[in-house]
Amino acid sequence: MERKSRIDAFGATSLILFAALLGLNQVLVKVVNGGLQPVFQAGLRSLCVLPILLIFALIAKRRLSISDGSLIPGVIAGGCFAAEFILLFLALDYTTVSRASVFFYTMPFWVALGAHVIIPGERLTGLRLTGLAMAIAGVVIALSHNNEPATEYALIGDLVCLVGAILWAAIALIARTTNLNKSSPEMQLIYQVAVSAPLILIVAPLFGPLIRDLQAYHLAIFSFQVVVVVCFGFSAWFWLLSKYPASDMASFTFFAPVFGVAFGWLLLDEPVGLRLLAALALVGAGIVLVNRKPKSAT
C-alpha cells in the first residue's frame, strides 16, 4: 500500500468525517443513557465490540500477539480505558454534550505535557506552549460560568470529562513509551476493550439500576455505536494511520469538539452561548498549535 507523505483531499475528507462521527457519538451516548445506566452502557459496548473487532482483525490478517512484551502495558492501558469511559459516560449524564466535548478533547494538551516530561525530543516549544496556554484559557472560560446547566451536577460532569481526557492521554503515552508500541493498532484496541469490558461490567451495579426506560430506539442507537462508530470508524482510523503521517492527522482532532458542540446544539437543542464558543475557539486553535511540528522534524 502506498504511503503518503502528506494529507491529500481524500485523507482530509476522511479525517473530517471521522471527527464528525466522534462528535455525533457523544450525542448518541447521552441519548442511550436514557435507556441504559451510563456505566452499564460503557461496559456493554466494549463487550459487544470485542468479537466484531477480533473477527475483523483475523479476516484482515492483522498481527495479534501477547508474546511481544505488550501484555502488561496492554492491561494497564485497558484499565485506563475502563476508567476513562466510566467517567465520560457518567459525565454525559450530568453535563451537556457541548460542554463535555470542549473538556474531553483537551486530551492532546495532556499528551503534550506528559511527553514533555517523559519522552526525549518532545519538548514544548514556544508555539506549542502558546497552544497549551490558549487551551487552558478556554477551559477556564468554560468552567467559570454556565448559564443553563444540564443538571445540578453539571460542574462535576465538566470536571469528570477533564479527568477522562487525562486518562485518554495516559493511554496514548503508554502506547508510545512501552512495548505496547510493538502491537498492531488493532491489538492495542483489543487490549483496551477486552480488559475494560469485565472491569466496567463488574462495577456497573454500584451506579444504580442497569436498565432505565429502555426503548427500541435506544437499542438501535446502541447498535449503531458498536458497529459504525467503534468498529467501522476506528478501523477506518487505523487504515488512515497506516497511510498518512500521524503528526499531520493529529491536527484534524480540533474538528471533534467543533462537531460535538454543533451536534449537541442541533440534535439536543443544547444552549451554546458566546462563552462556550470562545472556549471552543481557544481549545480548537490550541490543538492545532500543540500538534504543529517544526519543519525540520518532519
Range of the domain at 288: 9-297
Q: 4 lies in a domain?
A: no
Residue with cell 482510523: 237
Predicted local confidence at residue 2, as pLDDT: 66
Confidence of residue 132 (pLDDT cuts 50, 70, 90): confident
Q: 3 lies in a domain?
A: no
Q: 191 lies in a domain?
A: yes
Q: Is the confidence at residue 198, as pLDDT, over 90?
A: yes
Q: 177 lies in a domain?
A: yes
Listed ranges 74-78, 173-177, 239-243; the one with the highest mean pLDDT: 74-78
Total domains in the chain come to: 1
Q: 268 lies in a domain?
A: yes
Q: 233 lies in a domain?
A: yes
Cα separation, 283 vs 297, whole angstroms: 24
What nine digits make up the cell of 46? 466494549
The mean of the pLDDT values for the chain is: 87
pTM: 0.87
Helix axes 154-177, 71-94, angle to 10 degrees: 160
Helix axes 97-104, 255-268, angle to 10 degrees: 170
Helix axes 234-243, 185-203, angle to 10 degrees: 150
